[in-house]
Amino acid sequence: IIGRTATAERVLDGTPMTAQRIYELGGVNRVVPDGTSVEVALDWASRLADRPAKALATLKQILIDNDDLGLSEALTNEQRLFQTVVGTEEAIATMGDIQDRFDAGESIESVYGSPRP
């Protein structure tokens, strides 16, 4: 995740890395204030739990599969997997609910949750 050079440095040198350094290398998606990691993780897990499970599983599969594919193959794979989800009753109902909320004047932050750093 953080690249061969940074990994080699850590393995060979053994010096601990700060959370900020791991973030800069792309090893984590964000750094949170001390003492809040469990709260932040539980909040994120709660938001994910509210999402359609099949859609999340498919997105995870796309990320795993496409990691080693070229652009054309990755786009083909993404479209193939997307088609397994988009036409389901759950997806259609969810898209309708979201559209209804936008039509009622809700903001994107309200519909999808507060913006994240």
In a domain, 80, yes or no: yes
Range of the domain at 103: 52-112
Phi, psi of 30 (to 5 degrees): -170, 160
In a domain, 22, yes or no: no
pLDDT at residue 63 greater than cutoff 70: yes
In a domain, 107, yes or no: yes
pLDDT of residue 109: 86
Q: How many domains does the chain have?
A: 1
In a domain, 29, yes or no: no
pTM attached to this predicted model: 0.63
Kindly report the length of the chain.
117
In a domain, 9, yes or no: no
pLDDT at residue 13 greater than cutoff 60: yes
pLDDT of residue 9: 83
Rounded alpha-carbon distances, angstroms, from residue 27 to 41, 47, 52, 91: 16, 22, 26, 32
In a domain, 69, yes or no: yes
In a domain, 104, yes or no: yes
Q: At what angle do helices 53-66 and 71-86 cross, to 10 degrees?
A: 170
In a domain, 4, yes or no: no
